[in-house]
Structure 1
Amino acid sequence: MATVVRMDGPGSVSLAEEPDLPITPTGVRIRTLYSGISAGTELTQYRGTNAHFVKTWDPDVRLFVPGRPTAEYPTVVGYEEVGEVVQVGPEVTTLRPGQVVWGVWGHRSGTVVDESYATWRVLDPRADPILGIFSHIGSVALNVVLDSDIHVGETVVVFGLGVVGQIVAQLARRNGARVIGVDTIPHRIELARELGADEVLDAGVGEVAERVRKLTDGRGADVALDVSGNHLALHEAVRSVAYNSRVVAGGFYQGEARGLFLGEEFHHNRVTLVCSQISGVAAAHAHRWDRKRLATTVIDLAVTGRLDLRPLVSHVMPIEEAASAYKLIDTQPDQVTQVVFDFTGTTAGDRGPVRVPQPWT
């Protein structure tokens, strides 16, 4: 049996058991090592504000339409997983037990995927396995940067220094930008500074746009990237950029856009507003970039040390504390960055103990 973290309704989380999937001729059985919580998306599910839980998404016309909600409780969520191969089907030729694979299979202690899914997701054996949880959330961040069209020497302001924002800030600097990080949470501001942000601003002090202009000789930022999910931050991002500049909105906003005044700086400064969302890549890059390239690029950057992701992990908690983990993220965001479920202490049938690879040192 596999243990899963189940969301039973808004504010309600439990553990459940589900039958192990059967192995297929080309199947690969994976025992989960770690699974990261995506605070943005999963909190919308935990709080019951996610549009898919209150409205109907019609994928054919790509509209939310009246009707029964697309998603329902109870549900298993999660999309930041890494695990160890413990069994392969008789026709599998490219994988063997003991290899570590990253991917998306939800907060569950194990799964079975096809060889074609796992083959290109094998983690370097020298790497810290926990880095594997960043493949999807890192892809989200990289997609934001691709949508931003950053050039060497430009000033980029990143609003929201959670996990996505921290990765975005590092990627923007690798693109040659001067990066200004903005948040209200002290430990996230300090973390961004430690990870290389050129300037950091506490939004709680106010006058963010004014301070950005002082840092840019009155011009304003070339690009602002909002990954906070907060409409007020999006409005301040609009205020922070120069005339004829752009704002990339990568946050998962909930409810009405109160506090967003489009008749002010947005209108008078001819600001371009771009949506970045992981279901697609910007049209200018779509012939060269896809989800596979996004994910493998992030993992390669992390494994080779060009992205510093391990410091983003603030909590590693056993799955028995799943309910407490979500409550912590929901009520004490000032205490957390990336929360990770540790599955290495769980048992799953008679397949033996989990072997955790040694970090790359």
Structure 2
Amino acid sequence: MKAVAARDGKAAVIEVDAPELKEGHVLIRTEFSGISPGTEMGIIKNSAGKSVMIGYSAVGRIEQLGEGVTEYEIGERVACYGSPFVQHAEILAVPTNLIASVSEHVSPQEAAFTGLGAIAIHALRIADLRFGESVLVVGLGILGNLVAQIASAAAYRTVGLDLSSERVELLKQQGLSQVFERTEDLEEQLDVLTDGHGFDSIILCAGGSGEELINSSFEWLRDRGSVVIVGNLTMEFSRAAMFKKEARVLISRAGGAGRYDNQYERENRDYPVGYVRWTEGRNVGEYVRLLSEKRISVQPLITDQFELDQAHHAYEKYESDSKILASLIKY
């Protein structure tokens, strides 16, 4: 079968063996997979002298059920998340812990970004917000946009910040009114936006050098608030600024509980809901529910769609065009 790999600093379409179907897993014929530009471009840049399969978010139809799988049917459309089970590949073998049913009225193109949706949801869970609290989302690429949309759907007082006027305008078009391009404008409105307290949590979806941004976040934060790092930021910051607010600096890792746990993923052993309420798989289901209920929308973010044989062009475009938000591979 065909799949996309990072090879010697480039993306390439290669031939690989189809995956083996194991107990508790399902075999999925991929319809669409969503590109995660931050993660995948990083893997490509570091692929000199090796070949690494890429991708972790897709949608498709079940072709075969593994032993013990009774809750799904052949032909059913499902969203799925998590490498090495989910990749940019024609056929996927995925544990049922990492899939969720997708109703026919839900766009499969939007469902293909379920991995990023789960990551966005998990970031908000790490922030641990309560009804009526405020959150600032910094960096409004596809991940930050999703975090902001989901936060707003959850009725948090949601504010966005990005240096790109296009990204700011897009989020405004999606129904969020308090979105800023300039930090000066945000700071001018800070007391009004937060009742004079500062934000309860600030979620950083930007990348690169983090020192200036994290230190500014401490200034925008309420006393004992939290800063959640989602993007690939460096972690230098001022201890004095952190101490002044007794701020918490947290890392949000992937899509939720169960990630990188072989027993949960490979062996398909779910955690009891009474002990672990939200797993990566349950977050996948929540993302699909938000799409189904039209509480969020990904369609306005999708700028490009590439046939599998032309997938390498998607990554070439990310290198040259900073305005791309979301790209799909079609199978």
> Does the residue aligned with 2:129 lie in a helix, a strand or coil?
coil
Unpaired runs of 5+ residues, structure 2, are 259-273
1-structure distance, mates of 2:36, 2:215: 24
Asked whether the equivalents of residues 80 and 284 of structure 2 are also in contact (C-alpha less than 8 Å), the reply is no
| 2:198–2:220 contact (8 Å) kept in structure 1 | yes
SS in 2 for 1:121: strand
- Answer yes or no: is 1:100 the counterpart of 2:77: yes
CA distance in 1, matches of 2:7, 2:232: 22
User: Which whole-Å CA distance do the structure 1 matches of 2:22 and 2:198 have between them?
Assistant: 57
Matches within 5 A, 1:258-297: 260-278=236-254, 280-281=256-257, 287-297=276-286
Counterpart of 1:339 in structure 2 is 327
TM-superposed CA distance for 1:75, in Å, is 0.7
Matched to 2:216, the amino acid is E
1:159-189 CA deviation, whole Å, 9 max, x = no partner? Answer: 0111221121122223322211001122211
Contact residue 158 and residue 224 of structure 1 kept, 8 A: yes
Query: What CA distance in whole angstroms lies between the structure 2 residues aligned with 1:90 and 1:145?
Result: 35
2:199 aligned to 217, 221, 228, which one?
221
The answer to which of 294-303 and 222-231 deviates more is: 222-231
What is the aligned partner in structure 1 of residue 54 from structure 2?
Answer: 77
For 1:330 and 1:132, the matched residues in 2 are separated by 25
Q: Which amino acid aligns with 2:42?
A: T
CA pair 175-24 structure 1, distance change in 2 beyond 3 A: closer
- Distance in 2 of aligned mates of 1:286 and 1:183: 37
Map 1:229-268 to 2 at 5 A.
229-230=207-208, 231=210, 232-253=212-233, 256-257=234-235, 260-268=236-244
2:11 is paired with a residue whose SS is strand
Aligned counterpart for 1:323 among listed residues 306, 312, 317: 312
Q: Which amino acid aligns with 1:106?
A: Q
Instruction: Find the residue that maps to 2:115 and give its secondary structure.
Output: helix
Report the 3-state secondary structure (helix = DSSP H, G, I; strand = E; otherwise coil) of the residue aligned with 1:75.
strand
CA distance in 2, matches of 1:294, 1:195: 22
- 2-side partners of 1:300 and 1:202: how far apart? 31
* CA spacing shift, 1:235–1:324, aligned 2, 3 Å: farther
Separation of aligned partners in 1, 2:248 and 2:307:
44
Look up the SS of the partner of 2:145 in the other structure. Answer: helix
> Aligned partners of 2:290 and 2:106: how far apart in 1?
12
Query: Please, which moves more after superposition, 18-27 or 234-243?
Result: 18-27
* Helix, strand or coil at the partner of 1:153: coil
CA–CA distance in 1 between the matches of 2:307 and 2:217?
37
Residue of structure 1 in register with 2:128 after alignment: 149
Looking at structure 2, the residues matched to 90 and 288 of structure 1 have their Cα atoms a distance apart, in angstroms, of 26
C-alpha deviation, 1:317, in angstroms: 1.6
Which residue among 134, 156, 159 is the counterpart of 1:180? 159
RMSD of aligned C-alpha atoms?
3.0
Question: Deviations for 1:269-290, whole angstroms, at most 9, x for unmatched residues?
Answer: 22221221126559xx963221
What SS does the corresponding residue of 1:98 show, helix, strand or coil?
coil
TM-score (structure 1 length as normaliser) = 0.76
Task: Indicate conservation of the 8 Å contact 1:209/1:237, yes or no.
Answer: no
Change (3 A) 1:189 1:265: same
Give the deviation of 1:296 after TM superposition.
0.9
Q: Give the 3-state SS of the residue equivalent to 1:266 in structure 2.
A: helix
Q: Secondary structure at the match of 2:318?
A: helix
Judge conservation of contact 1:213–1:240 (CA < 8 Å) in 2.
Answer: no
Partner of 1:36: 34
Aligned length: 310
The verdict on how the C-alpha distance between 1:235 and 1:133 changes in structure 2, with shifts beyond 3 A counting, is: farther
Task: Specify the alignment match of 1:110 in structure 2.
Answer: 91
Give the whole-Å Cα distance in 2 for the aligned partners of 1:89 and 1:224: 42
**Could you state the TM-score of these two structures normalised by the residue count of structure 2?**
0.82
Residue identity matched to 2:324: V
Gap change, CA 1:207 and 1:43, over 3 Å in 2: farther
Cα separation, 2, equivalents of 1:159 and 1:293: 25
The letter of the residue matching 1:220 is: G
Q: Unaligned stretches of 5+ in structure 1?
A: 55-71, 344-361
Q: Residues of 1 paired with 2:241 and 2:192: CA distance?
A: 17
Query: What is residue 267 of structure 2 aligned with on the other side?
Result: none
For the residue of structure 2 that corresponds to 1:191, the secondary structure is: helix
Cα distance, 1:17 vs structure 2: 0.7
Relative to 1, partners in 2 of residues 1:93 and 1:327: Cα closer, same or farther, differing over 3 Å?
A: same
